């Protein structure tokens, strides 16, 4: 299922209803919503190996209005930093956008950009920092997202673990499925159609 689904919270945080489903034909990944200069913006990449290094943008008067594509879409093409890696945030009067570096591997690092210009006809940003997982961290194989929220820095990192559990489970499942396919059905008795009718 593609597009952007906006949900509205009910009486409690456990009650949600879908308010809108926009851009349903587009396979959006890592959609990011934010407000800037009186407009709401949606940044996202599109699913598919050839498209994940692209950044696309749409704008609207509010998140619940129709989205208009940016005149330059895709506004950026770069496997090293285009794909969104967290929410756009404001700090010291500037707008910052985290981007994923997926050139070597998925979620290798986060590149932090300062947005210099964003309007319906133009987009310009500059990279100001590259953040990588430290070698002495337990999760040292990549940094996937970065979010700044009310003075807190929130990120997720990854690590590679070698385990035989997944391959062995797959082999056992395949063997079990083959054995079930070959085994005769147990407990199934063929009855004439009239017998079935009497039983109903």
DSSP notation for 93-104: TEEEEEEEE-SS
For residue 191, tell me if it sits in a domain. Answer: no
9-42 tens-digit pLDDT: 999 999 999 888 888 888 999 999 999 999 999 9
Mean pLDDT of the chain: 84
Instruction: State pLDDT tens for residues 101-159.
Output: 988 877 789 999 999 999 999 999 999 999 888 888 888 888 888 899 888 888 888 88
Q: Where are the extended beta strands (E) located within the chain?
A: 4-9, 16-22, 28-36, 39-46, 54-60, 68-69, 76-77, 89-91, 94-101, 109-119, 122-131, 142-149, 152-158
Residue 55 forms part of a structural domain: yes
Give every CB contact of residue 181 below 8 A, 6+ residues apart in sequence: none
Q: How far is CA 98 from CA 5, 21, 188, in A?
A: 22, 25, 60
Average confidence (pLDDT) over 187-192: 40
Residue 142 within any structural domain of the chain? yes
pLDDT digits (tens, 9 = 90+) for 173-185: 888 777 666 654 4
115-123 long-range contacts (CB < 8 A, ≥24 apart) are 115/36, 115/88, 118/36, 118/37, 118/41, 118/57, 119/37, 120/39, 120/59, 120/68, 120/70, 120/71, 121/71, 121/72, 122/72, 123/57, 123/70, 123/72, 123/75, 123/76
User: Domain for residue 127, yes or no?
Assistant: yes
Say if residue 4's pLDDT is above 90: no
Question: What's the pLDDT at 192?
Answer: 43
- Ranked by mean pLDDT, the top range of 70-79, 149-158, 165-174, 184-193 is 70-79
Residue 188 lies in a domain: no
Domain that holds residue 159: 4-183
Question: Is residue 59 classed as helix, strand or coil in its secondary structure?
Answer: strand
**Domains in the chain: how many in total?**
1
Quick check: is 195 in a domain?
A: no
């Amino acid at each position: 299922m593609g597009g952007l689904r906006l949900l509205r919270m009910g009486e409690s945080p456990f009650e949600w209803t879908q308010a809108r489903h926009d851009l349903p034909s587009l396979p959006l990944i890592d959609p990011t919503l934010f407000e800037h200069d009186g407009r709401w913006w949606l940044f996202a990449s599109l699913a598919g190996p050839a498209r994940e290094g692209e950044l696309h943008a749409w704008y609207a008067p509010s998140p619940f209005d129709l989205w208009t594509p940016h005149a330059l879409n895709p506004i950026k093409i770069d496997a090293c930093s285009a794909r969104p890696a967290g929410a756009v945030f404001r700090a010291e009067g500037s707008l910052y956008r985290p981007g994923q570096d997926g050139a070597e591997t998925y979620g290798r690092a986060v590149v932090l950009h300062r947005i210099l210009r964003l309007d319906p006809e133009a987009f310009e940003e500059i990279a100001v920092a590259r953040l990588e997982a430290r070698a002495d961290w337990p999760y040292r194989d990549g940094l996937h997202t970065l979010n700044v929220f009310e003075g807190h820095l929130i990120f997720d990192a990854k690590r590679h673990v070698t385990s035989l559990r997944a391959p062995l489970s797959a082999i056992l499942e395949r063997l079990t499925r083959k054995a079930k396919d070959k085994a005769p059905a147990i407990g199934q008795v063929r009855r004439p159609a009239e017998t079935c009718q009497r039983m109903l």
